Chains A and B, each alone.
Chain A
Amino acid sequence: MKKLLSKGLIIGIATITGLSSCSKKNDPDPEPTNPESSKYVLITMSENTLTKPGYATAFDEIPSGNVSNINATSLQGMGMGGWRPYGNWLLKMFNSTGNELGIERLIVSDNKVVVDKFLKATDNTTNGSGNFVINENTGFYWDGSSPLKIQKFNPETLSRTGEIDLTNVVNERGSDEAGILYRSIGQKFLAIKGGKLYANITYATTNGTQKGFWDDFYPDVYIAVIDVASGNYEKTIKIEDTGSIAYINDNNMYSFDTNGDLYIVTQGRSSLGGKSKVVRIKASETDIDKTWELKMDDIMTGGKFVNIFATNGKIITIIPTVALTGGANGNINFSEIWEYYTIDIATKARTKINGVPYVTNPGAAFGTIKVDDKLLLRVNAPSAGLNGYYQLNSDLTAATSLFNVTEGGSVSGFYKINL
C-alpha cells in the first residue's frame, strides 16, 4: 500500500510538471531493486513448432559478444516462445513441461533455471487462457472455461483465489445479435492502471478454433473498467473503428509511458492488418483519449502494429517495410521485413533507429525491453547472422549490438531478477 501511495505521488508530480524524465514509471511492473545478488535470465525458442521448445539460462552479468544459451545449468522445456516477467518473477503463459496454458513461474536455484509453480487454466484449448495481469498482491487472469468471468489469483503462490462474474457487463450489448457467436471478457487485453482493471470484451463472429481473434462483430473494440479493490464494474469504454485489440501469448501489446499513460495496440480488422492503431488512456483518465491515436494506415498500407514500448514520450515499435502477406509463403512472421522506429508521441514524427537491420516479427516476445536501465531491442535477422539484443542509445535513434545468441534458438526474452 505504501508503495502504491508513493507511486501515485510520483505520478502526480510527473503529470503536473511534465518532467517525465524525472519520474518513476507508473507501470505496475516494478523492476527488481536493491539486489544482493542478481541473475540475468535469457530464454530462446529452439524450434519453430507448435510446442515452442527452447532453453532458459541464468547469467551472472549481461552477456556480450557471441553467447550460447545452452549449458549444464540451462532449463530445456516447452512454451519458450516468450514470457511476461513481473517484478522479480519470471512468468509465462505456457508451462515448460507440456506447453499447457496457464501461468508458470521460473526461478533460479543453485545457479540453475528451474520451474517453480504453475497455475493451470481449466480450458487448455482456447487462445487467451492464462492471459494475466498482476497488481501488487492480486492477479487477474482469463480462463476460456468461464469466458464471461475474470479469475483472481495470488501471484505469490500462483493459486487461483476466486472470480469476478461479468456476464451482465458483456451482455449490455449484442445479446440478441445472431451474428455474435462467441463472447468473452479479458481474453486478449488485461491491464491495471490507477487501481482500475481494464478488460477487453470480445464479440466474435466465430466460435471455432480461432474464436475471439480476427473475428470482431463490431467495428469498435470495447473495454470494461473494473475497480480492482472492490471488484465492482464501473463502465465500458471503446476504441473506435478498429479491431483485434492486442493478442494472446506473452506479448501483451500494451505499454505504460514513463508518465503513466497507457498505450494500447489494436492489430486491426484482419490478421494482416487494416485499421490497426495505437491509442492511449492518459495516466489520470479512465477512458480512451479521443484526441490522440496513431494509425498504421497513415504510415504503411497493409501493415499493422505488433509490438510497443513507451518511454519518455516516445514509442518504440516495429513497422513493416512491405505489405503483410499470410499463407504458406507469407512474410508476416519469419521474413525480415520489420524495421525499428522511435515515434514521438506528441508530433507522431517517426525516426528510424539506425544500426539495426530489418528483423523478423517478435511474435510472442517483447521487441523492446528494459534491463539495468538499458533499453534493449530484440534483433532476429537470420540472413545477417544476427540473433540477440541491441542496446538503444540515449536519444533512441541508434542501437548497437549488445550480445548475439548463437545457440538455443531465436531470442524470446531477457530479464534480470534478484536472488
Chain B
Amino acid sequence: MKHFITYRIRLIPTLLALLSLGLLNSAEAQTGLQLKGKVLDQQGLAISGVSVGLPALSKKTATNTYGEFSLHIPRYGKYLIRLSFIGYQTFEKEVNVSAGENSFDFILIEHVSTLENVTVTGKTETQKIKDQSIKTTVIELKEAYNKPATVTELMNRTAGIRIRQTGGLGSAADVSLNGFQGKAIKYFRDGIPLDYLGEGFGLSSLPANMLQRIEVYKGVLPVSLGADALGGAVNLISRRPSNKYMEAGYELASFNTHRLNLNGYYTNPANQWFAGVDAFYNHSDNDYKALVRATDPETRNQYDANVPLFHNAFTGYFVQAYAGLKNRKWADEIRFELSAFSNNKEQQHPALMTDPYGAIVSKQSSVVPSVSYKKTLFNNRLTVNQFVTYNTIKINRIDTLHGQYDWFGNFTPNPLKVGESRQASNSDINSRNFISRTNLAFSITDNHTLELNTVYLSASRDGNDPLGPRFSGTDIDVLSAESSYRKFVTAMGISSDLFDKKINHLLTGKFFNYSASGIEAYEARPVFSDEVKDIGGNSWGIADAIKYEINSRSLIRFSAEYANRLPDHNELFGDAVFVVPNFSLKPERSLNLNLGYRYNKPVSYSVEVNTFYRRTKNLILLVPIQQPYAHFENQENVKGYGMELDGVVYLFRNLLLNANATWQDLRLFNVSSSGGDAEKNDARLRNTPYLFANAGLNYNINKLKFYGYYSFVREYYLETIPKRLEPTGFLGLGGKADINSLLIIPDQHLLSIGTNYPALNNKLSIGLEAKNILNNNLYDNYRIQKAGRSFHLKLNYNIQ
C-alpha cells in the first residue's frame, strides 16, 4: 500500500505550498502578445542570464534559470532578435511571430577571440570548471529543479561517485570517491567547510533547487578549498542569480513525503543592493517496507518478515535570509546571511538492521549568522574574499524508553531497562564553531595567478546527559567538561596558462596545524576531571596539476598529489561513550595520481575517460580495544587504480543518451600476514563498490520531457575476501564470489522513470517520477535497506 502515493497529506505543508503557488500566480498574471523561447548551449543545457533583445522595439530581457524568456510585442510579424552573453557569439536572427508560432529555441555557440596572441575562449562557469587542470565533475542542477530527484540520486548517476545512505530521506549520507570515503572526503558550501552547518545542509535532505551546481573534486583540490582532504571534496555551489526571481516548489511522494522549497532574490535596478531567501522543508515517514529478521517473542527464534518501518520519520527545515550591498567603492559585494535549521530524526535501528527501535530520536538545530566580503583591487589584479561565521549547534539524543519494540511496532514495557540502544541517553550537547576563511588571488601577469587561502576552524563541545557517565567519585557529568579543537590550514598555489592557454598548470602547497584539548574520558576505568590532555601537530601536502588542450574539442590532463588528513576531534577524544581517546593517531597519507582525456563534439557527442592511482597509508579505522569500547587507530594501507568512462550522445535531436561506468581496483597492501591475515594482501577494500554504472535516456516532445535512469552496482563485500575467491571474468563480472559469505551485498539494479511538463507559460513545471519501478530490494551502507517502488509528484513555480 505504501508503494503508492499516500493521501495522508500533512495540512500545513500542503497549504503552504498552495499558498506560495497562488500568491506567485496572482502576482504574475499578465495578458498580451508574446514572443517566447529558450536558449541552450551546444550541450543542450539551458543558459541563464542571456540578454535577449528586440532592437526595433528597444525591448530587452534575460533568460531565467531554465534558459527561458518572453517579451511582449505589440503585434504579430517579423522581428530581429538579438541574443548576447559573455563567452558566446552574439546571435541575431529574424523571426516571424504568428499566432501559431510564437515560441523559438536558440543555441548559442561558444565565442573564441584572439587578443595579442592570447586566445580567450568564452565559457560558462560550469564549463570553465570542467576544463580546469584539476579533474572536476560538475553536476549542473538547473534541469533538476523541476524533477523530484534528490541531490544524492543526482550524484549517484555520475561517474566515479557513490553515495551510501543509511535509509531514506534525511538519513546520513557518505560519499565515496575513487574508493575514499568517510572523513577522507571534505564537504564545502561555496568554498567554506560545511562543519558549521551540521546536518542542516546534509546531502540527503537538500533539494536541488538550493544549489546552482555541485563540484566534485577527486584527488587534487583547488587552492580555494583549504582542507586536509585525503582524496576528494564536494563543493556545493549556491544559486547566485544575477536577476530577481522567485521560485517555489512542492513535492508529494510515497511514504507521506512532503518537500517544499522557496527561493527568491531581488536586486534593485541600479544593482547596488540585494536581498533574498533560500529555504526548504522536508518531511517523510520513510515507512517503506524492509525485509528483516523478526523474532518470535516466546521462542526467540527468528524468521523473515517484510514489514513497514515504523519509527523512521525525518522532519527538517532550513531557512536562510540574506542581504547585501554590491558594486560599491569599498566592496564589490558584502553579504550578510542569517540561517536557521532544525532536524528531527527518528532512529529505527542501530548501524545494522538488527534491532527495531521505537522511540530513539536525535535532533539538531542552530542559528547561523555569517558575513562574506569580496573586493577586487589594483586594476583587478588582486581579489580578496573573506568569510566568517560563528554558531552553536544544539544536538540532542533521546533514548529513555523503559521497554522495547518488535519489528511490528508492538511495545513491551520493561521498568528495569532504560533506553533501547546500548547507551541510554537524554543528552544535550552544544557544539560551537568558528570559521574564518580568507582567499587572496593575485594576477602576477595575465597568465600567472598566485592564490593564497587560509582557513581557521575552531570547535568546542560540552553538554550534559543525566544518563551519561560521571567522573569518578562525583556526580559530575563527563560531558560537562569542554573539549576543543583548532585547525589552521594554509594553501598557496600558482596557476599558469602557457602556450596560448593550451596548457594550464597549477602547483599547490598546503600546511596544516592543529591543536586539541579535552578529557581523556575512558569509562573502562575511573575518569577524573583533571585528566585534561593537550595535543597538537603539523602536517603538509603538495599537489601539481596540468592540462593540455589538444584542440578545441579535446584535452588531456594529469594531476598528482601527496595529501594528508589530520585526525579530527572525535577520532582523538572519542565520544565519551563507546569511543575512547587515542592521542597517538598519525595523519592519514595518500599519493594520488589522475590522468584523463576528453573529447567533445558539440551537439553530437562527448566522451571522457579518467584513470586514477592511489597509494594510501595509515587509514584511520575504529577498532575495539576492550568490550564494548573502541578507539580510532591507524590501520590499513590501500593502493590501486581505477577507470571512469563517461559519455553523452544525441541519438536524435530530441533524444539524449548518457552513460557512465566506474571500475576501481583498490586493494590492501603491506598487511602483516604473521597474524593469519595473509588473505588481506591484495584483497579488495571492504565495504566499497568496485564496479557501478549508470545510463540515462532523455526524450523531448516539444515541451514534454520523458526520462529514465538505470543504475547498476556490482556485488561487493562488507568484509575482505581473498582475491582468489572473487568473481572471475572481465572486470569481475563473472558469477559470484566463491564463498558462502553472509557479508556480501548482492548485485543491485535500480530503474526510475519520469516526465516533466511546463505549463502556465513555462512558469509552472509539473514533474512525475516513479523510482525503483522494479521494486527491487536495494541495499546501502552496511546492508541498510532502501525504499522499494515509490511515486513522486513535483510542482515548481518560477517567476522572474
Contact = CB atoms under 8 A, between A and B. Distances in A.
A368 interface: no
A114 B740 contact: yes
A145 B414 contact: yes
B423 A209 contact: yes
Contacts of A413: none
A160 B740 contact: no
Nearest to B294: A120
Nearest to B403: A145
Contacts of A123: 404, 417
Contact of A120 (B302, B352, B581, B740): B302
A64 to B, nearest CB: 16
B590 to A, nearest CB: 22
Chain B's interface size range is 35 or more
A252 B719 CA distance: 28
Contacts, number: 194
Contacts of A148: 416
B677 A46 contact: yes
A329 to B, nearest CB: 6
Interface in A107-122: 112-115, 117-122
Given A122-B404, A145-B417, A408-B676, A78 B743 contact: yes
Contacts of B300: 102, 119-122, 153, 159-160
B701 interface: no
Contacts of B740: 72-76, 112-114
Interface in B287-322: 293, 295, 298-302
Given A49-B624, A70-B722, A118-B301, A407 B678 contact: yes
Interface stretch (A196-204, A232-240, A308-316, A379-387): A379-387
Interface stretch (A93-101, A255-263, A393-401): A93-101
A270 B623 contact: no
Nearest to B418: A207
A210 B674 contact: no
Contacts of A47: 719-720
Given A127-B628, A209-B577, A326-B524, A72 B739 contact: yes
A406 B422 contact: no
B677 A125 contact: no
B675 interface: yes
A216 to B, nearest CB: 14
B626 interface: yes
A118 to B, nearest CB: 6
B416 to A, nearest CB: 6
B525 interface: yes
Contacts of A85: none
A35 interface: no
Contacts of B627: 127, 248-249
A210 B741 contact: no
Interface string A70-89: 11111111100000000000
A271 to B, nearest CB: 6
Interface string A118-134: 11111111110000000
B670 interface: no
Interface in A177-216: 207-210, 214
A117 B633 CA distance: 35
- Classify the secondary structure of A's interface with B: loop
B720 A46 contact: yes
Nearest to B585: A328
Contacts of B665: none
Contact of B626 (A51, A121, A271, A405): A271
Given A76-B721, A214-B524, A160 B741 contact: no
B584 interface: yes
A279 to B, nearest CB: 24
A96 B627 CA distance: 18
B61 interface: no
Given A72-B725, A382-B672, A408-B676, A48 B719 contact: no
A291 to B, nearest CB: 34
Contact of A97 (B293, B355, B578, B621): B293
Contact of B523 (A44, A147, A210, A380): A210
A303 interface: no
B63 to A, nearest CB: 54
Contacts of B368: none
A208 B739 contact: no
A333 B354 contact: no
B582 interface: yes
A20 interface: no
A209 B581 CA distance: 17
A407 B293 contact: no
A119 B673 contact: no
Interface residues of A, number: 83
Interface in A386-419: 386-388, 405-411
A313 to B, nearest CB: 33
A90 interface: no
B86 to A, nearest CB: 54
B742 interface: yes
Contacts of B582: 328
Contacts of B718: 53
A329 B584 contact: yes
B101 interface: no
B738 A72 contact: yes
A249 B352 CA distance: 20
B679 interface: yes
Interface string A48-72: 1111010000000000000011111
Interface string A131-168: 00000000000001111100001000111110000000
B522 interface: yes
A278 interface: no
A53 B674 contact: no
A68 B679 contact: yes
Given A145-B417, A328-B631, A210 B722 contact: no
Most buried by B among A120, A123, A157: A120
B622 interface: yes
A376 interface: no
A332 interface: yes
Contacts of B680: 46
B421 interface: yes
A47 B621 CA distance: 11
A208 B404 contact: no
A77 B743 contact: yes
Contacts of A112: 740
Contacts of B79: none
A124 B580 contact: no
B404 to A, nearest CB: 7
A70 B738 CA distance: 10
Contacts of B630: 49-50
Given A160-B300, A387-B674, A409-B676, A100 B742 contact: no
A69 B420 CA distance: 37
A394 to B, nearest CB: 28
Given A249-B627, A382-B672, A98 B354 contact: yes
A70 B418 contact: no
Contact of A210 (B293, B468, B628): B628
Interface of B: 293, 295, 298-302, 352-355, 404, 414, 416-424, 467-469, 522-525, 577-578, 580-584, 621-628, 630-631, 633, 672-680, 718-722, 725, 738-743
Interface of A: 44, 46-51, 53, 68-78, 96-100, 102, 112-115, 117-127, 144-148, 153, 157-161, 207-210, 214, 248-249, 270-272, 326-330, 332-333, 380, 382-388, 405-411
Given A72-B738, A328-B580, A410-B675, 4 more contacts: A49-B622, A49-B630, A125-B419, A328-B582
16 contacts: A46-B677, A48-B623, A68-B678, A77-B743, A97-B742, A100-B354, A120-B301, A124-B354, A126-B417, A145-B417, A159-B299, A209-B422, A272-B525, A328-B581, A380-B676, A387-B676
Q: Which 9 A-B pairs have the closest CB atoms?
A: A382-B675, A76-B741, A387-B676, A159-B299, A328-B582, A125-B422, A385-B674, A407-B679, A53-B719
